[in-house]
Amino acid sequence: GAVVSQHPSRVICKSGTSVKIECRSLDFQATTMFWYRQFPKQSLMLMATSNEGSKATYEQGVEKDKFLINHASLTLSTLTVTSAHPEDSSFYICSARAQFNYGYTFGSGTRLTVV
Amino acid sequence: QQQVKQSPQSLIVQKGGISIINCAYENTAFDYFPWYQQFPGKGPALLIAIRPDVSEKKEGRFTISFNKSAKQFSLHIMDSQPGDSATYFCAAYVGRGAQKLVFGQGTRLTINP
């Protein structure tokens, strides 16, 4: 089945630094990947849609300069949280859909803590 | 119109009982309705999904019931087990193209032993 690998699973960084999160589709090519943010006891909030070879599409209210998304290949998308602050602490999850396949597969998530 | 409304927010069921979670949608263009199960600290995992041309789909202890005219669908977990304790999300999207998943608010299910 379709597998999405997300790394790291946990990261702690100092305020003001940047953190990169990787999302890889292991056994399929994903022209589109999605990045979500999830606060405790809440649903997933879509941050942006990552398109291979083109700019990401950000949801309303998401700062594109703070959350940099790069989708350089059909199997890799990265989310970089720039100049991180404690309020950026959250659970970040990526997902992708294999071509011609209706199911969306999610990564295991990244717990970001900014101290 | 893009919303998917899910209820209840939390649910406690005794072991062996039936857990029922309900969802309602507005957008009639949605043509794929998945349910996801999420354990703490993990990403959501696809549990079961249904298309609107089917009224019911069963996989093991999990059943989706779909009412197209009422624009409602529900997840039934039969013989609920403590290992089923998790957060469940219903979702919907338009299957053509890379469409965005629209999630429900989630239901935290606890199965008491």
The string of DSSP codes covering chain B is ---EEEE-SEEEEETTS-EEEEEEE--TT--BEEEEEE-TTS--EEEEEE-TT-SEEEETTEEEEEETTTTEEEEEESS--GGG-EEEEEEEB--SSSPPPEE---EEEEEE-
Nearest to A73 by CA among A95, A94, A55, A52: A52
User: Nearest to residue B45, comparing CAs of A28, A47, A25, A3?
Assistant: A3
Q: Which residues of B touch A95 (CB under 8 A)?
A: 43, 101
Question: With an 8 Å Cβ cutoff, are B104 and A43 in contact?
Answer: yes
- Structure tokens that stand for A102 in this block: 């209706």
The CA distance from B70 to the nearest CA of chain A, in Å, is 24
A97 part of contact set with chain B, CB < 8 Å = yes
The position carrying tokens 């199997």 is A75
CA distance, residue A93 to nearest chain B CA (Å): 6
Tell if the CB–CB gap between A104 and B46 is shorter than 8 Å. Answer: yes
Minimal CA separation from A110 to chain B, in Å: 8
Mean pLDDT across chain B: 94
> pLDDT (tens digit, 9 = 90+) per residue, B50-70?
999 999 999 999 999 999 999
pLDDT tens, residue by residue, A33-79: 999 999 998 999 999 998 888 889 999 999 999 999 998 888 999 99
Give the dihedral sign, CA A63/A65/A67/A73. positive
Whether residue A95 lies within 8 A of chain B, CB to CB, comes out as yes
Per-residue pLDDT at B98 exceeds 80: no
Q: Residue B89 burial by CB count (10 A; 0-12/13-18/19+): exposed, middle or buried?
A: buried
Tell me which of A28, A29, A44 to substitute to probe the interface with B (most B C-beta atoms closer than 10 Å): A44
CA distance B92 to B98: 13
Q: How far apart are CA B75 and CA B63, in angstroms?
A: 6
Reply yes or no on whether the pLDDT at A81 is more than 90: yes
